[in-house]
């Protein structure tokens, strides 16, 4: 999932964490009170882009 993490960071400057506990190979995004709606929208746009173009990130 490092490729997804790096793609989101490069594309929209949003940092998310990778998780590799046990058999889990995932990324995790956590928001908080100080995150602005436009920041969350950027993350969602990145996830949608990667989901629509999965072969670009394998």
Res 37: pLDDT: 93
Please report, for the chain, the start and end positions of each structural domain, with discontinuous segments joined by +.
2-57
pLDDT tens track for 39-56 = 999 999 999 999 999 888
**Average pLDDT of 4-15?**
88
The pLDDT of residue 2 is: 85
pLDDT at res. 23: 84
Give the mean pLDDT of 27-41.
Answer: 89
**Which residues make Cβ contacts (< 8 Å) with residue 14, sequence separation at least 6?**
8, 29, 39, 42, 43, 46
Structure confidence at residue 26 (pLDDT): 87
What pTM was estimated for this model as a whole? 0.75
């Amino acid at each position: 999932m490092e490729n997804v993490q790096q793609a989101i960071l490069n594309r929209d400057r949003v940092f998310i964490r990778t998780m590799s506990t046990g058999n889990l190979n995932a990324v995790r995004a956590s928001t908080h009170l100080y995150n602005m709606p436009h920041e969350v929208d950027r993350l969602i746009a990145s996830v949608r882009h990667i989901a629509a173009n999965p072969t670009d990130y394998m």
